Amino acid sequence: MVETPEYTAEQLLHLNIPGARTELVRGVLAVREPPGFRHGVVSGRLARVLMNHVDALRSGLVLSSETGFKLAANPDTVRAPDVCFIRNDRLPNPQFPGFADLAPDLVVEVVSPGDRAGEVLAKVADWLSAGATLVWVVDPARREARVYRADGTQLLVRESDSLEGEDVLPGLSVTLSSIFS
């Protein structure tokens, strides 16, 4: 039996695996290929909608993919959402080059064709366990989204329905079909 080496968040920060997205899950590297074109379109549209809303209210910061967050230690877990939002009062100060030791208030995960349902749910669990209030899992292939909340409730959002910012981003409402078209 081959023993898998355990990595730390600090080691991950300096690791370079060209052409791949790497997260750290309980000390084990999770290396994935970059997502496809449709994933980028959907993630980009969601980021734009969130940024426009947040910028208008000056309520926090929207970050795009590849931003790592340290969600657990010993063994370390570092996850990188496709898009996320952090309220002003929770932003790290000063901003630093490493991974923030917090979960964003809103996390958006866009499902890629190669994603397995169990892996996506494990990410959702990691985000919520670390303190995220709201997690949107957007599935372009099914043209739907699932909303997971810190209180354990969930909601299925169909293409003709809207994703709501709820208490995290009051007033935000985006029709899912506008993200997919």
Tens of pLDDT, residue by residue over 59-71, are 999 998 889 999 9
Average the pLDDT over 44-54 and give the result: 97
pLDDT at res. 111: 96
pLDDT at res. 59: 95
Domain assignment present for residue 13? The answer is no
Q: Answer yes or no: are the C-beta atoms of 70 and 103 closer than 8 Å.
A: no
pLDDT at res. 1: 66
Number of domains in the chain: 1
Domain assignment present for residue 29? The answer is no
The number of beta carbons lying within 10 Å of the beta carbon of residue 12 is: 20
pLDDT at res. 2: 65
**Banded pLDDT at 153 (limits 50, 70, 90):** very high
Mean pLDDT of the chain: 93
pLDDT at res. 40: 93
**Banded pLDDT at 53 (limits 50, 70, 90):** very high
Domain assignment present for residue 47? The answer is yes
Domain assignment present for residue 175? The answer is yes
Q: What tokens were used for 148? A: 């997971």
Domain assignment present for residue 10? The answer is no
CA distances to 42, 50, 172 from 138, in Å:
9, 14, 16
Residue 84: beta bridge partners? Answer: 63, 107
Domain assignment present for residue 24? The answer is no
pTM of the model as a whole: 0.94
- The three-state secondary structure class of 179 is helix
Q: Domain containing 118 — which CATH number?
A: 3.90.1570.10
102 has a pLDDT exceeding 70:
yes
Domain assignment present for residue 157? The answer is yes
d(CA 1, CA 88): 48
151 has a pLDDT exceeding 70:
yes
Average the pLDDT over 88-107 and give the result: 91
> Phi, psi (5° rounding) for residue 52?
-60, -45
Residue 30's closest CA among 115, 136, 140?
Answer: 115
124 has a pLDDT exceeding 90:
yes
pLDDT at res. 160: 97
Average the pLDDT over 98-102 and give the result: 94
Q: Answer yes or no: are the C-beta atoms of 83 and 63 closer than 8 Å.
A: yes
93 has a pLDDT exceeding 90:
no
Per the structure, the complete domain to which residue 117 belongs is given by: 35-180
